[in-house]
Amino acid sequence: MNEIGSWWPFLASPENRGWAISCAVAIVVPLLVYLFRLLWPKVDKVWIVGIGENPPLDGADSNPQRSWWSELTYGALRMPFMLAALRQWSIRFVGKLQHVCLTVKLCVFYRVPWIDYIPPDSPMLKSNSVFNQMDNSSSFYWGRFLEAFPSLREPRVFTEASVIDYRLSKLLKYPLSASSDDGTSWHRPIWWTEGHSNMYLSRWYRLKPSIFLLGNMELKIKKIVSIPGAVYWQNFVYVECSPMEPTGLYTYKSGDADNSFYRPNSEEYAVYRNKKFTRAEYDDGGYEKNGRVFKFKSEPQLRERIIVPFNFMLVAADSPVLSLDVDDQLETYLAGCLDGIVSHIQLANWLLGLRRR
């Protein structure tokens, strides 16, 4: 987990607590079954044989053949065919139970990297020391930039999925926000922007190789460009994404696939218990299945899947890129990068030429 760095924020979500309990059960049950099979011969010998040969505890009759308790246990539990049948049934049952538990365990653990997995929210850290470090967002971003891209003096392109994952996990590691101890003030020093659209970074999570969650947006990143500057406030990261496959929840008119009116740039949907639901079902808090109506027992997670080529910048909160005066120019440069008209060197030269805010 690249973002949280701790299991406690992970367990804050009800869905994740259920997943953790499933993992614990999948591990503990096979262990208990193994111990049962290991100790069964000893329990058989002590419990079944001992009851028939020892006198009852109340001392009513020292002869086990005359005691009603001894007659009952001796006649019922010492029957060879009953013991053999019970033994064979228990062995078959335990073997099948182990097989089922192993299958469940594998399904649970290999379910995690799938796209439908619900990651936890990024909690705001309450710490005056971290809060003071984030007070100067450019300085904080510069420190993260040096951790992710050390010893770079010129723009560099990264296209390998594992390298992109590693570099961004350093840049956007937990915490992404912090508040004072009394909770009256907070800082979110890292932002993303594509021009007129920008927002502070509240959550960054790796769903699977090359697939990331930026806030509520699902992105398939194919390239990043680190752009170091001469001073601490001149550091930028360019991110370019490939279009993702549609969710399959929505249908579009035939022949209008290229029309943005019928095929939008993204699809909003909700994830609930590892299943996808439409935005309308999310808004209404329920869904229909096999003619019956069900309500969401917990809050689904809203997602926005980007299904067109997309790019943006990762910058500090007080970066010159977030100025209203350069929004139009930034959108022009980003559109040119997607179309192949503008190179990353041209984008870097323009960014490094901006004045400080």
Computed over every residue of the chain, the mean pLDDT equals: 77
Asked, as a colleague might, if the bond just before 175 is cis with ω within 30 of 0, I would say yes
Average the pLDDT over each of 81-95, 177-191, 330-344 and give the range with the smallest value. Answer: 81-95
Residue 220 has which token pair?
């398939």
- Please report where in the chains the tokens 């977030």 appear, as a residue: 322
Q: State the angle between helix axes of 327-339 and 344-352 in degrees (0 to 180), rounded to the nearest 10.
A: 170
Average the pLDDT over each of 220-229, 264-273, 287-296 and give the range with the smallest value. Answer: 264-273
Backbone torsion region of residue 310, taken as left when φ is above 0, otherwise alpha when ψ lies between -120 and 50, otherwise beta: beta
Same domain, 99 and 142: no
Same domain, 338 and 226: yes
Output the DSSP codes for 204-270. EEEEETTEEEETTEEEEEEEEEEE--SSTT--EEEEEEEPPPP-SS----TT-TT-TTTS-SEEEEE
What's residue 350's pLDDT?
Answer: 95
Same domain, 86 and 155: no
Domain assignment present for 137? yes
Same domain, 180 and 321: yes
Q: What is the pLDDT of residues 2-19, one digit of tens each?
A: 433 344 555 555 556 666
Domain assignment present for 188? yes
3-state SS assignment for residue 184:
coil
Same domain, 233 and 152: yes
Residues 6+ apart with CB under 8 A from 119: 3, 203, 205, 207, 213
Is the confidence at residue 64, as pLDDT, over 80?
no
Q: What is the pLDDT of residues 154-165, one digit of tens each?
A: 999 999 998 999
What's residue 184's pLDDT?
Answer: 82
Integer Cα distance of 357 and 353 in angstroms:
12
Domain assignment present for 294? no
What's residue 95's pLDDT?
Answer: 60
Mean pLDDT confidence for 28-57: 54
Count Cβ atoms below 10 Å from residue 229 Cβ, excluding itself. Answer: 16
Integer Cα distance of 300 and 207 in angstroms:
17
| Final residue belonging to a domain, choices 88, 111, 134 | 111
Domain assignment present for 103? yes
Q: What is the pLDDT of residues 224-255, one digit of tens each?
A: 999 999 999 999 999 999 999 998 898 876 55
Same domain, 13 and 74: yes
Q: How far apart are the first and last CA of the chain?
A: 35
Domain assignment present for 254? no
| Final residue belonging to a domain, choices 82, 111, 140 | 111
Same domain, 104 and 133: no
Same domain, 88 and 44: yes
Higher pLDDT, 83 or 264: 264
Same domain, 313 and 212: yes
Domain assignment present for 167? yes
Same domain, 143 and 100: no
Same domain, 86 and 132: no
The boundaries of the domain holding residue 183 are 125-243+309-352
Same domain, 47 and 161: no
Domain assignment present for 277? no
What's residue 210's pLDDT?
Answer: 83
Alpha helices (H) along 44-172: 50-53, 68-77, 80-111, 128-133, 137-148, 161-171
Number of domains, the chain: 2
